[in-house]
Amino acid sequence: MRLNRFLAAAGLCSRRKAEELIRSGLVEVAGEKITQPYFDVPENAAVRVGGKAVLRQQLVYLALNKPSGYTCTLKDPFARKKVTQLLPASLGRLFPVGRLDRDSCGLVLLTNDGYFAEKVSHPRYQVEKEYQVTVVPPFRSQDARVFLEGIEDNGEKLVARHIEVLKQLPGKTVLKLVLTEGKKREIRRMFASQRYHVLTLKRVRIGRVSLGSLKPGQYRPLKNREIQAFMRERPKPKDKEPANR
């Protein structure tokens, strides 16, 4: 693990602050002063900052099926039920990656690794998030193009990467929707702008991680291949014209 990430993962400071500490000559690895933030820390090497030992933190990566009624915003003082309350205290302090509003359910990733969280949630990586959305009245097929071209709402452009009808039911429609950003209440705002009301909203996939058979409130550790798939992400240019695949 690179030294700047090591210090951030240990909860000492942010990665940016860690880089400042390293360049200032305050950090030692195995007794040697290191001034390069991207220095790879050997597995069992002792790390000190200003002469004080920094303990290596065990990194945790989880997939959880969030029930509706739980909030992902840990700083909300009015939230009665937070998603982290579904986890045992023995896992330590974790935080959710990205947004999933209180009334929605489905896949949430939780971790204590800020670098991993950035790889998953920052718009420049364009990680796909897939949702199943039930709306009323029945979805009009001609509106698909509006979602793909983008909708202006409160100074933001909301764009779907993919939209597909899964089921037409009496008086309502179940759709598959794929996004690559995570703006606040983005899906509900998109549908509201076209005079639809969202009955249910469930996230079923983030990148290569699927909700699978997890029941509401259940969680599982991410597989190493799932973690590494996010870690290998590189910034991508935005598509000029998304296609309805």
pLDDT of 198 over the 90 cut = yes
- Print burial letters for 51-68: b (CB count within 10 Å at least 16), e (below 16): eeebeebeebbbbbbbbe
First to last CA, the chain: 38
**pLDDT, tens digit, for every residue of 38-69?**
999 998 899 999 999 998 778 899 999 999 99
Look up the CATH number of domain 3-54: 3.10.290.10
Q: Which amino acid is at 11?
A: G
pTM higher than 0.85: no
Question: Do 99 and 72 meet the contact criterion of CB atoms below 8 Å apart?
Answer: yes
Domain definitions of the chain by residue range: 3-54, 61-231
Gap between the Cα atoms of 187 and 191, Å rounded: 6
Tens-place pLDDT, residues 76-114: 777 789 999 999 999 988 999 988 999 999 999 999 888
Residue 117 sits at the vertex; the CA angle it makes with 111 and 120, to the nearest 5 degrees, is 120
CATH class label, 61-231: alpha beta
Q: What percent of the chain has pLDDT over 70?
A: 97
Looking up tokens 């990680």 gives 127
**Placement of tokens 């982290």 in the chain:** 84
Q: Is residue 244 within a helix (H) or strand (E), and if so which, with residue range?
A: none
User: What is the tens place of the pLDDT at every residue in 201-239?
Assistant: 999 999 999 999 999 999 999 999 999 999 988 887 765
Q: Are 92 and 112 in contact (CB under 8 A)?
A: yes
The active-site residue, picked from 40, 76, 101, 143, is: 101
What pLDDT was estimated at residue 14? Answer: 76
Q: What element of type H or E holds 186?
A: helix 186-193
Q: 């990586």: which residue's tokens?
A: 125
Residue 208 neighbours by CB under 8 Å, 6+ apart: 225, 226, 229
Cα separation of 198 and 193, whole Å? Answer: 11
Question: Catalytic residue at 103?
Answer: no
Beta-sheet strands, E only, within 155-232:
156-158, 162-169, 172-179, 197-206, 209-210, 219-221
Distance (Å) of CA 165 to CA 148, 172, 187, 226, 243: 14, 11, 15, 28, 15
* Res 240 pLDDT > 60: no
Task: Give DSSP secondary structure letters for 83-109.
Answer: GGGGS-GGG-S-EE-S---TT-EEEEE
Question: What would the mean pLDDT of 137-157 be, rounded to a whole number?
Answer: 95
